[in-house]
Amino acid sequence: MIEIEETGYIPVKINGEEKSLDLYETYNRVAELCKEFEGKTAREYHEAVRGYLQSIGFPECSHGTAMKFSEAIIAHVQGLQKKVESAESPSPTPN
C-alpha cells in the first residue's frame, strides 16, 4: 500500500496576512529566483522575492522578511525530502 499525506499546502503568515501556499509551486518559484539572481546581489534577490510575495497577495515586507521566507520554504522542502529518503532506505536484513 502506498499512503501519501497531503503536504502540498503550507500556511504562511507575513505581517498579519495569512495564506495557504502550494508548497512545491512556491519552492519552485523561489528556486527559479535563486538561479535567476545567481551572481547578483542579495539585495536584488530579496527585492525579487518581495515582488513575488506581493504578487501572491502578501503586503509589502522588508528584505529581511523576504530572506526568512525563502530560507524557510527551502528548509521545509528539504526536510520533507529527507523524510521521504529515509523512509525509502531499505533496512539491513539480519544474517
pLDDT value at position 85?
73
pLDDT value at position 81?
78
C-alpha 41 chain-centroid distance:
20
Largest CA distance in the chain: 60
Q: Which of 65, 62, 83, 77 is nearest to 31 (CA)?
A: 77
Domain boundaries, the chain: 9-72
Q: Which residues of the chain have pLDDT under 70?
A: 7, 87-95
Written as nine digits, the cell of 28 is: 519552485
pTM over 0.85: no
pLDDT value at position 91?
58
